[in-house]
Amino acid sequence: MRLTPGPGRDVDLDTVDLFDLDLYTSGDPHPVWDVMRAKAPLHRQVLADGREFWSVTRYEDVCRVLGDHREFTSERGTVVTHLGEDDVAAGKLLTSTDPPRHTEVRRPVGSKLTARAVRSWEDSIRRSIVRFLEPALDGDTFDLAERALLLPAIVTGPLLGIPEKDWEELVELTAMVTAPSDPHFQQGSEAATLAISHHELVTYVTDWVKRRRASGGGDDSLLDHLMSVRPGGAPLTDEEIALDGYSILLGANVTTPHTVAGTVQALIERPEQFEKAQADPSLIPNLVEEGLRWSSAACNFMRYAVDDVSIGGGTIPARGAVVAWIGSANRDASQFPDPHTFDITRANAKRQVAFGFGPHFCIGAPLARLTLRVFFEELLQRFASIDLAGEPQHLRSYFIAGMTHLPIVAQKRHTP
């Protein structure tokens, strides 16, 4: 998906197709969202097969949909690829569970991922990122987007308790879940790709739990911690552990690589922003927030209305599917003046909702922020400049805004 939109254009909202994968692969959805925010903040689309969904595109409406589980439930599905099919894992999979059970599972897991808790991992993360960046310093073409797919596994694999030999396979499987129509990851049809990846990931975590139980437990990894969670006083079943482990693997792997690639592309296209960050490293945390806003890697989340709900000047009927467009909310001019300008000094960049909002706010956000901060500290310290070495290729996905290829050439920075 293009992150720097083209010029504004006439958009016929009656014919807009937000399920057109070409819109995200080679198109430009931002002018569409601009018109929707202005003229149709609640938009209904009916697909050719009769399925329908409503879209909200304004910041405040997106926050309301994601923030109020009493009005908008997660327990029928949360991703548009499952539109019209109730989630069989509802009430078991953390992302498809509403409070209070969601809170009972999330709170003990989240205690391991607070900003204070992840701070102790910074040195390990920095060593991993230094090794990751080293090949880019030899002056040859370095495909940042392709290589960055493995970056979260390099950083979080040890924290999750996942052995290095499994990282590449798990990264491939999580990419299949989020982009089942992309030719880089597709195996057969879209439905087959989803089925294969879901089965393989759940089986992986299930087998991992069985081995841990047979050996009497393991170290204090996040997946080990899931085995000790007791919502309502009862332990999670092996199925619930497998599903939540699957969810954690997805969350760890699928957004950070695309935030990295999208932010680096923005800096390449705006060398004055690169130079500003390099001259003043104190701007790096805000660079991270602006990069999160700009790239909005998790492009949308879906909910279902519990009852009839008035929002955005219209009504979503009970049981209606509603898609909250994160990528649009983060370009809402009512919140972010001059929203299509990438500005690392933006005063309120941290108001971005790239991590979601409300009960399902990304549990790994502190770790992601730490990883991104360290990444850009090391990149700006080591690279004098970065240039494109070819055309970026965008991910074919409704759900994840990202790239499959971003070839770059970097010049090493020589410091006195």
Residue 20 has pLDDT above 80, yes or no: yes
3-state secondary structure of 305: strand
Residue 165 has pLDDT above 70, yes or no: yes
Q: Which two tokens stand for residue 346?
A: 């933006």
State pLDDT tens for residues 37-87.
999 999 999 999 999 999 999 999 999 999 999 999 999 989 888 888 888
Extents of the domains making up the chain: 21-412
Q: How confident is the model at residue 416 (pLDDT cuts 50, 70, 90)?
A: low
Distant-in-sequence contacts of 359-362, Cβ < 8 A, 24+ apart:
359/67, 359/69, 359/98, 359/99, 359/102, 359/103, 359/106, 360/66, 360/74, 360/78, 360/95, 360/102, 360/301, 362/251, 362/255
CATH number at 21-412:
1.10.630.10
DSSP letter string, 145-197: HHHHTTHHHHHHHHHHT--GGGHHHHHHHHHHHH-TT-TTT--SSHHHHHHHH
Mean pLDDT, residues 119-124: 92
State pLDDT tens for residues 295-353.
999 999 999 999 999 999 999 999 999 999 999 999 999 999 999 999 999 999 999 99
Q: Answer yes or no: are the C-beta atoms of 226 and 109 closer than 8 Å.
A: yes
What dihedral angle (degrees, nearest 10) is formed by the CA atoms of 251, 255, 256, 259? -160
Mean pLDDT, residues 160-178: 89
Mean pLDDT, residues 276-294: 97
199: Cα separation from own chain's centroid:
21
Q: Answer yes or no: are the C-beta atoms of 180 and 193 closer than 8 Å.
A: yes
